[in-house]
Amino acid sequence: MEIINRETAYDGHFKLKLLTVQDGDKQLKRERFEPGKAVAALVWDTEQERYLLTRQYRIGAEAQVLEIAAGMIDNGEEPEAAMRREIQEELGYDVDRIEQIAHMYPSPGGSAETITVFYAEVSNQSGKGGGLAEENENIELVTLTREQLISQQFEDAKTLIATQWVQLHK
């Protein structure tokens, strides 16, 4: 298969592309959702000995979602730098240690989004967190013990992956 043509079908907060794909002697039309590149991190507070998660309204779920801290990578920004920025914006913490645990396409059947997932350790809350007012974020900080994290029923894929990583590595 080879993409032979790309058109922008929608260019708003997110982008939607119309692709023409050559498959042997057939040409197929496919839409591809292009939200961008994202980062996410399961954050461990080494002082409180608790995981720090967020609860915020997510338009895809049309509900408040309990999830690991996450956000979009700005143009030219490295994933780790973006994650450190998001942890400060959402949780108010400075990062002591960070390691990448996964890089993934959460839904490659129709989306070009990638998410780099990290594990981060923090100990110093230097800001208030809660997200940025100019981005209309209203983020609640939620703390969980290891036992609470593992027993929680998450609906968010990146959070499920990070929780499974904890069960395997921590």
Average pLDDT for consecutive 10-residue bins of the chain (170 residues)? 96 95 96 96 98 95 96 95 97 97 95 97 91 80 97 96 94
| CB 54, CB 129: distance < 8 Å | no
- 3-state SS, residue 126: coil
> Given this model, what pLDDT does residue 132 score?
77
Tell me the pairing of strands 37-45 and 26-34.
Answer: unpaired
Any idea which residue has 């608790």 for tokens? 50
Catalytic residues: 135
Binding-site entries for Mg(2+): 70, 86, 90, 137
Binding-site entries: 70, 86, 90, 137
Tell me the pairing of strands 50-58 and 63-67.
Answer: antiparallel
> Given this model, what pLDDT does residue 137 score?
78
| CB 100, CB 118: distance < 8 Å | yes
Q: What is the model's pTM?
A: 0.91
> Given this model, what pLDDT does residue 170 score?
78
> Given this model, what pLDDT does residue 81 score?
98
**Alpha carbon 52 to chain centroid, angstroms:** 14
> Given this model, what pLDDT does residue 87 score?
97
DSSP conformational letter for 100: E
